[in-house]
Chain A
Amino acid sequence: MQLESKSPTGPIEKRWEDYRFHLKLVNPANKRKYTILVVGSGLAGGSASATLAELGYNVKCFCFQDSPRRAHSIAAQGGINAAKNYHNDGDSVFRLFYDTVKGGDFRARESNVYRLAAISLNIIDQCVAQGVPFAREYSGYLDNRSFGGAQVSRTFYARGQTGQQLLLGAYQALERQIAAGQVQMFPRTEMLDLLVVDGRARGIVTRNLITGKMETHIGDAVVLGTGGYGNVFYLSTNAKGCNTTAIWRAYKRGALFANPCFTQIHPTCIPVSGEYQSKLTLMSESLRNDGRVWVPAKKGDKRLASQIPEAERDYFLERKYPSFGNLVPRDVASRNAKQVCDEGRGVGETGLAVFLDFRDAIQRLGKHLIKERYGNLFDMYQRITGEDPYERPMRIYPAMHYTMGGLWVDYNLMSNVPGLYVVGEANFSDHGANRLGASALMQGLADGYFVLPNTIGDYLASNKFDKVEASHAAVRDAESNVTQITRRLLEAKGTRSVDSFHRELGKILWEYCGMARNAAGLKEALAKIPPLREQFWRDVKILGGAEELNQSLERAGRVADFLELAELMCLDALERNESCGGHFREEYQTPEGEAARDDEHYSYAAAWEFRGVGQPPVLHKEPLSFEYVHPAQRSYK
């Protein structure tokens, strides 16, 4: 299979504009003749649904939550990047592009990243116009702050709830189109299969989570904005419902899955407290602007933080990376935290935590200002841990947070299956091997508001769409596939709960395919996952039936997919004999312990093709070339 990235050439600042001009347009009067199915209602899916509807397309939008406003984008705290250069501090579209390519450790497509950086300007304008209450200066102008991995202030924010406010903006735009009859919304509905008819994505099979009713929806194109797969680790900062099912089942219908091993571990999360732990809570990395990360210099120092004198503290990020200090990118911060804990210098009961200390910031700026900046985060920390972070330093530890990998897409955001588009975290496109802070919101909204609505028209205008009858063999095949999965899950009548399998899988992945990986460990994981999957199908215990609200059954279907995905992640990590960004292979590091890339052999996106469960997938490579940002060893020193 030849991967056509459709990435344009020519001067990079003109590529998107030229490309867009050459895309075919759908006549306004004809747009209403097309139906587009959008799965997911977060920043990417929600903004795409609203914008496509504004253009005049008929849209059907699906989400598994009870309302589109609940999508997990809502939990993003810190902010959204845009190269506005409102602060005259040297920012530009090119610099945001440069930072993103470099931050991603040279594993993303230059054309896509440049487009993203350019569109960042329009996103802020759009969101302000929607009434997103961004932080302001006393003059009434928009305020900015700097954020992990950046040396300029380009992050726009709405307190610690930026994701919430941007999502509500998209949600309100979506509700406006629902009221106008342009979008039909299907909440509490989960996509369980993709319908591929004559080689093109033409619909989806869904389950109504309240009644259990299976339904087939036919359309002219399908858009997946279903988020990332971080919950494969069981413990992650993702919402409990986040899952891989939509993209995984599309993968099983022929869509390629790219860079599955590129996962991001977030450095500032609240540490695990016990076996019952159901999720991990992220503390926005904006805290690293004012908080200082440290551990005791001596091993096994169990004194209270306040009793450890300055000379016996090791501010390890400031020591090792003097120019970026506490603001190094996430992968670097996470690995260093793991390293000091592995050395036995971790803090707290479990020794799996480092301090994030605001003592100096409070002395410098006053408690009032710290409260204004981070009040809600401090309150959240106190609610969860029972400790007051104004008095004692926070304890933090890295946790699984974001997945850069996802379905492979071309410059149009279309997968290799014609008519199947993938937007936001669900695709693999813009972040390479590591995402910078405040860039996820930017990408979700760029895809949904500004890229997809342009590119999808070209596909619709270039193809003819025959009516797909309910009796079509492909429809019957997809429906019977879904029925069979449900039946097999319910009929196992085993002894173990869905969560017990999920926890076990998560432990395997965290151990062998987490912050640091090596060939021996990955092989170990590849030996452990298939028997666990086999046991799952034999021994899972689900009560209740298929024709009702059955939360165990919902989770079981998702865990079944995670059990397959986990294997692909380990394969991909094993195949990539280099370290880059979030993918750190212990065998490949510089003498200073930094990720050592191998551009000669691995400067490509790894796109995997499904060949059957338990069968080795086929690897396709999309070579990456860099004309503007020349690959170099990332240095934050």
Chain B
Amino acid sequence: MKIILHVWRQKNAGDKGRMVRYEAPNVNEHMSFLEMLDVLNEDLLAKGEEPVAFDHDCREGICGMCGCMVNGVAHGPLPETTLCQLHMRSFKDGDELYLEPWRAKAFPVVKDLVVDRSAFDRIIAAGGFVSVSTGSAPDGNAVLVPKDNAERAMDAAACIGCGACVAMCPNASASLFLAAKITHLGLLPQGQPEREQRVTAMVAQADQEVFGSCTNIGECEAVCPKGIKLEVIARMNRDFLRANFAGRVGVEAD
């Protein structure tokens, strides 16, 4: 099949950038979306045009490195699917696709479809961990975790940090990302001692990174390739309120 592509080309962070039209004439339905871009890049190179820069690594939907807007939707049209796992059988001959980088002030464009997501790392550094130094852990079975809690923690921990939630949110809010980590650790006994400190510090860091606020729109949940649910945000808000009203950061409030 033949696909028409309009791709955001931007030489570097300082460049203004523009959409450029390309044709991909020999697309096979079994190709992944990124393989389609690989073929486009080989064609561009042969013509002496610089290939389109895009981030990718594992190509099996787990590293979180890839992603762009496809016709205004983060990671394209297939639910719970990263761009690398999207296959061309989701499109038909003659389709016109507009590819843009993640759109958010906190994710500045580096080049073409590549953005800088280091703000996410700084949010984790602010408190997205359990402070346990190597060697100080008790036996793995010393603390029991109800199966249901472990499962729900795992649901939240599945976040791959791709940034689709931010890119899709009209407010460019990072709430789903933050809340996924807060929920993951907050549901486990190991995460309790720092629970309130964690939510306070992470939310403060997100504000500093100029992510927007959450207004419960739900676009994030709709595009999340790992199916993280909005309820994690409710949980984060509850923890946040509790930490603030209690005013006893780091101490379990009733």
A interface with B by C-beta (< 8 Å): 47, 50-51, 54, 65-70, 72, 74-75, 84, 86, 122, 124-131, 133-142, 156, 158-159, 161, 163-165, 168, 171-173, 175-176, 178-179, 185, 187, 210, 239-241, 273-274, 276-279, 281-282, 379-380, 383-384, 386, 449-450, 453, 497, 499-500, 541, 543-544, 548-549, 551-552
Q: Mind listing 7 A-B residue pairs with CB under 8 Å? A: A51-B133, A68-B121, A125-B138, A158-B157, A172-B129, A383-B86, A551-B51
Contact A70 B184 (CB under 8 A): no
A278 in contact with B12 given A54-B134, A67-B117, A70-B57 (CB within 8 Å): no
For B58, what are the chain A residues with a Cβ–Cβ distance below 8 Å?
A: 70, 72, 74-75, 239-240
Q: Could you say which interface size class chain B belongs to?
A: 35 or more
B interface with A by C-beta (< 8 Å): 11-12, 28, 30-32, 34-35, 38-39, 42, 45-46, 48-51, 53, 55-65, 78, 80-81, 85-87, 89, 110-111, 114, 116-118, 120-121, 124-126, 128-141, 143-147, 150-151, 153-154, 157-158, 160-161, 184-185, 188, 190-191
A70, A129, A277, A386: the one contacting B35 at CB < 8 Å is A277
Contact B188 A133 (CB under 8 A): yes
A136 in contact with B134 given A66-B118, A278-B32 (CB within 8 Å): no
For A124, what are the chain B residues with a Cβ–Cβ distance below 8 Å?
A: 140
Contact B132 A380 (CB under 8 A): no
Contact A138 B147 (CB under 8 A): yes
Contact B137 A281 (CB under 8 A): no
Contact A552 B45 (CB under 8 A): yes
Cα distance, A126 to B134, chains bound together (Å): 7
Contact B147 A140 (CB under 8 A): yes
Chain A minimum-CB-distance residue to B139: A125
Cα distance, A273 to B124, chains bound together (Å): 39
Chain B minimum-CB-distance residue to A134: B150
For B61, what are the chain A residues with a Cβ–Cβ distance below 8 Å?
A: 380, 383
For B48, what are the chain A residues with a Cβ–Cβ distance below 8 Å?
A: 543
Cα distance, A86 to B19, chains bound together (Å): 58
For B161, what are the chain A residues with a Cβ–Cβ distance below 8 Å?
A: 67, 69
For A178, what are the chain B residues with a Cβ–Cβ distance below 8 Å?
A: 121, 125
For A126, what are the chain B residues with a Cβ–Cβ distance below 8 Å?
A: 132, 134-135, 137
For A379, what are the chain B residues with a Cβ–Cβ distance below 8 Å?
A: 80
Contact B62 A161 (CB under 8 A): yes
For A210, what are the chain B residues with a Cβ–Cβ distance below 8 Å?
A: 110
A274 in contact with B65 given A453-B134, A552-B45 (CB within 8 Å): no
Contact B190 A278 (CB under 8 A): no
Report B61 CB to chain A, min CB distance, Å: 7
B50, B129, B135, B145: the one contacting A130 at CB < 8 Å is B129
Residue of B30, B140, B145 with most partner-chain A CB within 10 A:
B140
Contact A129 B188 (CB under 8 A): no
Contact B87 A384 (CB under 8 A): yes
Contact A187 B118 (CB under 8 A): yes
Contact A65 B111 (CB under 8 A): no
Contact A67 B118 (CB under 8 A): yes
Cα distance, A484 to B144, chains bound together (Å): 58
Cα distance, A70 to B55, chains bound together (Å): 11
Contact A548 B111 (CB under 8 A): yes
B85, B118, B146, B188: the one contacting A384 at CB < 8 Å is B85
B121, B146, B158: the one contacting A136 at CB < 8 Å is B146
Chain B minimum-CB-distance residue to A139: B144
Contact B138 A131 (CB under 8 A): no
